[in-house]
Amino acid sequence: MARVKIDMPEKLGFTTQIPVRITDINYGGHVGNDSLLSIIHQARVNYLEFLGFEERGPETGLIMADAALVYKGEGFKGDIFDIAIGAADISPFGFDIYYRITTVRDSKTIIIAEAKSGMIFFDYINRKVARLPEDWKEKLSA
């Protein structure tokens, strides 16, 4: 079976914390894959707000082109996820956001997952891909 591999950048310059809720737990007793996507969505919003951006404005914003998750451990109710985030692979129309999700249990840092989401700038009025604004490129590159 071929496995997804994410080439994580060395530097992820922003960190946010998100608690695991009971609604994030699946029938296996750990954080479900659908919940992990929702958690990284919130982390992405926190990252963009830190940079001074919103995911969606009145006319243009971001749309997710792809997502990849690689699980390294289990997350449980009560965990506080520390999510390190950084952008890379910036192009004229979008960029990738990378996430490293960890938690501390019994004084040990546990890697829960690594993830990547491919983000494209999108014109919601004309329903087509748009150019990534220069101020986005500058702040994402910093």
State residue 57's pLDDT score.
86
| 96 domain residue, yes or no | yes
Is 94 part of any domain?
A: yes
In a domain, 28, yes or no: yes
Number of domains in the chain: 1
Domain annotation covers residue 140:
no
Whole-angstrom distance, CA of residue 70 vs CA of residue 112? 9
Domain of 98, CATH number, reads 3.10.129.10
Q: Is 90 exposed, middle or buried (0-12, 13-18, 19+ CB in 10 A)?
A: middle
Question: How many residues belong to the chain?
Answer: 142
User: Does a structural domain hold residue 53?
Assistant: yes
Smallest Cα–Cα separation from 69: which of 40, 103, 93? 40
Please report whether residue 79 resides in a domain. yes
pLDDT tens string, the chain, 142 residues long: the values are: 889 999 999 889 999 999 999 999 999 999 999 999 999 999 999 999 999 999 998 899 999 999 999 999 999 999 999 999 999 999 999 999 999 999 999 999 999 999 999 999 999 999 999 999 999 999 999 8
Task: Examine residue 7 and state whether it is found in any structural domain, yes or no.
Answer: no
Q: Would residue 18 count as lying in a domain? A: yes
pLDDT value at residue 71: 95
pTM of the model: 0.94
Domain encompassing residue 23: 14-135
Can you list the alpha helix ranges (DSSP code H) found in the chain? Answer: 33-51, 134-141
Within 13 Å, how many C-alpha atoms sit on residue 40's CB side? 30
